[in-house]
Structure 1
Amino acid sequence: MDSSHSATVPRNFDSRSDEVIMTPKKRPFCNAFTGCGRKRSQYSPGMPLQEIMRQRQYVDDDVVSALMDSENAVDELSRQILSEAKLWEAIQEASAEIARRKQKEFYNQ
């Protein structure tokens, strides 16, 4: 009785260790507008209007607080940049004044 059985070996099977190797999951697509892995619609079809409004309220609150935080961060960063620019300008003026004095001393000798 010569019967041949065929079996398929899963691709993620390691014959050296007799273990199934888990394949890594794909990372979600990320972009600046929608973030990472977010679907186009957050709401499932047939979701009650009250549930949609409740979820939307939390999303809106989160968006508003994130915008406020980002506006405050932008304002603080702008102040820091302006402060650095004023400091740089003062350093440049002091450096130019020192160079003028040295040049004046050189010609007066």
Structure 2
Amino acid sequence: MMHYKMMNEYTVDWPFWNVWATTNEHPSLCAEEDPPLPHLPEDLAQRIRQWARQFNDHFSWETGWPSREMARAHEEEGRRLHGQVVAALPDDIVDLDYWETGYTAPPAAN
């Protein structure tokens, strides 16, 4: 059994972290083939990569997401993907660490 964390991070294309691979509180980034790709359907792996790419392309450390709608849609997709990963890896623990909740507020109307 393995313990993974599914979490976006800047410049990371495969957002999985091995929680048990380290002796401290910081998990280590998984290689592209971990969790084992034979257990994750290729279409699921592709959607996970797209989800991570959307984070890298649109989430700003200064302002968050460009809009509330994009923030909400990205989180919903992450939760959907997480559920599918959990179903595909029944012998492992997979936590979702979704921290990227900020977004740019629309300008106030005059």
Which of the five TM-score ranges fits, normalised by the shorter chain? Answer: under 0.3
* Structure with a larger share of its residues in strand: 2
**Larger CA Rg, structure 1 vs 2:** 1
TM-score (normalised: structure 1): 0.25
* Structure with a larger share of its residues in helix: 1
TM-score (normalised: structure 2): 0.25
